[in-house]
Amino acid sequence: MFQDNPLLAQLKQQIHDSKERVEGTVKGSDKAYGFLECDKKSYFIAPPAMKKVMHGDKISATIEKQGDKEQAEPETLIEPMLTRFIAKVRFNKDKKLQVLVDHPNINQPIGAAQSKAVKEELQEGDWVVATLKSTLCATIVFSMRKSLNLFATPMMNWHLGG
């Protein structure tokens, strides 16, 4: 009855168009939530929405109002904070490859795929160079295991700007 209803589609579009939109930079917290920092205001980003973005990303978001509280819902990624980065390899409970970005404000693991250029088998704790191909999906392009054997002292922490 409601499927392919032009009036319903028009109403949905009107609701979508009437929502307040803002642009800003995501600021992650050490917890699962974050904030969207705009020119004059800061908006809360709930944990499920933070899984779609990273600290430092420039995004466009809609503002959802619930009583006197305002919350940002990410809509469009304008500019990612990371494109190429240093990360530590880990495997989740299903043995799926993930990377942990070595950045103090990014604490969520990112699902990853191993590039065909990386020939050796990756192990938990290996350091890699990865590129972000899409939001929260990385491709490992270079394993640093062989390179680490060249250092006499442990590798210092890598911190990316942002």
Q: Please list the rounded mean pLDDT of every run of 10 residues in the chain (162 residues).
A: 73 72 91 90 92 88 89 88 86 89 82 80 87 64 47 36 40
Question: In angstroms, rounded to a whole number, what is the distance separating the alpha carbons of residues 27 and 142?
Answer: 28
Q: What is the pLDDT of residue 36?
A: 95
CB atoms closer than 10 angstroms to residue 151: 10
CATH 1.10.3720.10 assigned to domain 84-148? The reply is no
Distance linking the first and last C-alpha atoms of the chain: 50
Question: In angstroms, rounded to a whole number, what is the distance separating the alpha carbons of residues 160 and 71?
Answer: 28
Q: Are 57 and 81 in contact (CB under 8 A)?
A: yes
Q: Are 60 and 70 in contact (CB under 8 A)?
A: no
Q: What is the pLDDT of residue 115?
A: 79
Q: What is the pLDDT of residue 135?
A: 59
> DSSP assignment, residue 7?
H
Q: What is the pLDDT of residue 147?
A: 39
CATH code at 20-79: 2.40.50.140
Beta carbons within 8 Å of 9's beta carbon, 6+ residues apart = none
Same fold: 20-79 with 84-148: yes
Q: What is the pLDDT of residue 159?
A: 39
Structure tokens at 74: 């990410």
User: In the chain, where are the structural domains located?
Assistant: 20-79, 84-148
